[in-house]
Amino acid sequence: MSPSHTDVPANCLTVTEVLSRVGDKWSVQVVVQLGDGPKRFNELRRIVSGISQRMLTLTLRGLERDGLVTRTIYPTIPPRVEYHLTGLGCSLLKTVRALGAWAIENRDEILEARRRFDEAAGVEPETDAA
């Protein structure tokens, strides 16, 4: 009996759910930045290029909800809030760094494969507009 596309194991759904959280553009960048140590909101906003205040807020809430980031409020006037990676977040950071290293190591091979594919498909090569 062959498996059907409707017989998706629960583990696949779990992986998909987790990857949708940790694999999005902003979450990865925030996790990498917090890997260098705790950061305040505005500091993160400055160093994560292109992120809006609203998107950073949503990203931090999602990461906190998933147990990857913790938010610490210090009782000063005005209150100081810092974001830190949790142990779970640090374990994700190791995986993200490994994936980043893999991407850098294999970039030329991937670009060459794209070139061969596009050439075989008759697609014009991409050119830089610069």
pLDDT digits (tens, 9 = 90+) for 63-118: 999 999 999 999 999 899 999 999 999 999 999 999 999 999 999 999 999 999 99
Q: How confident is the model at residue 13 (pLDDT cuts 50, 70, 90)?
A: confident
DSSP state, residue 9: -
Q: How far is the C-alpha of 114 from the C-alpha of 6, rounded, in Å?
A: 32
Q: 29 lies in which domain range?
A: 10-121
Task: Say if 52 falls within a structural domain.
Answer: yes
Q: According to the model, what pLDDT value does residue 24 have? A: 87
User: What is the domain-level CATH number for residue 42?
Assistant: 1.10.10.10
Task: Say if 56 falls within a structural domain.
Answer: yes
Number of domains in the chain: 1
> Is the peptide bond prior to 79 cis by the omega test (within 30 degrees of 0)?
no
Residue 43: how many other CB atoms lie within 10 Å: 13
Task: Say if 85 falls within a structural domain.
Answer: yes
Q: How confident is the model at residue 44 (pLDDT cuts 50, 70, 90)?
A: very high
Examine the pLDDT at 120 and tell me if it is beyond 50.
yes
Query: Percent of the chain having pLDDT more than 90?
Result: 72
Contact between 25 and 49 under an 8 Å Cβ cutoff? The reply is: no
Task: Say if 28 falls within a structural domain.
Answer: yes
